[in-house]
Amino acid sequence: MTAVESRPPGVLASSSSRGQRPFGARVKAFVALTKPRIIELLLITTVPVMFLAEQGVPDLWLVLATCIGGYLSAGGANALNMYIDRDIDALMARTSQRPLVTGMVSPREGLVFGLILAVVSTMWFGLLVNWLSACLSLGALLFYVVVYTMILKRRTSQNIVWGGIAGCMPVLIGWSAVTDSMSWAAVILFLVIFFWTPPHYWPLSMKVKEDYARVGVPMLPVIASNKVVARQIVIYSWVMVAVSLLLTPLGYTGWFYTAVALVTGGWWLWEAHALQNRAKDGTTGAKLKEMRLFHWSITYVSLLFVAVAVDPFLR
């Protein structure tokens, strides 16, 4: 019996009551399955790379086609993730209102919806962008669903480290959409997101670690002290900032990107070390202020990739 099945009755809507829900509410529920806020972040790392690959303004239809394909692919992956994780989502406060938990969408509907998006997104990329981008998109979806959600997430504290590879793929997709090839520039930006993901997500995990502990998901903050987690955040942060600066000496970016990378990276390191100092002092609860780094991490990656897009025009 799954965790969902063992919860008190009356939480999940019956199929009959689901059918009585307003059409608009049902549409919103299916949109929620795609996790739009997360996809916004993925597109922030896709479009600027297309400008860098083009060294100017890429074909706007190509940008639109890539964004739509990326949304469909990531949306399918997220829907399948919710289908697989619906048992633990029901027990976590942060995820207890997801459509498959509330019953607004049935598990079968969620599964079919995710599979349809996976197929449509792959064909969309292949026919309207190129087949290299289609393969990268499908690979990201399968990695997120199979490797991260089904294998790593409930088994190892390194789940978000290696599972984060799926979130790095939009960088490669953006580059391949323009050039139908790969480049060291794309690889470097892939690595920036790879090293960004753990220190981005671990602060949030520190905030909600009781949720993860309750459902047996071994996120690093669940099995390690705040001091250990903060040290890991600092290590990954330094590597991330160092990698982000490689683009300029290799000739892919100029002074503007370098300046933004130095300023935003420096501020990130300040916040990471501040969190580590609070953790060393044994600070807990609201005074740990772990969410400051989480929120800054989103601003950081947005500013950095905007600089990626703007830099070609200033060289």
Q: Which residues of 154-164 are buried (b: 16+ CB within 10 A; e: fewer)?
A: eebbebbbbbb
CA dist list (Å): 32 to 27, 37, 39, 168: 9, 9, 11, 22
Asked whether 66 and 133 are in contact (CB, 8 A), the reply is: yes
Residues 6+ apart with CB under 8 A from 178: 50, 53, 54, 58, 62
Domains of the chain in sequence order: 27-178 (1.10.357.140), 183-315 (1.20.120)
Which tokens is 108 given? 């079968």
pLDDT in tens, 34-45: 999 888 888 899
- Predicted confidence at residue 286, as pLDDT, reads 77
- Predicted confidence at residue 19, as pLDDT, reads 52
Burial of residue 37 (number of CB atoms within 10 Å: 0-12, 13-18, 19+) = exposed
- Predicted confidence at residue 287, as pLDDT, reads 87
Residue 285 banded pLDDT, cuts 50, 70, 90: confident
pLDDT in tens, 14-59: 444 455 678 889 999 999 999 998 888 888 999 999 999 999 999 9
State percent of the chain over pLDDT 70: 94
Q: What is the pTM of this model?
A: 0.91
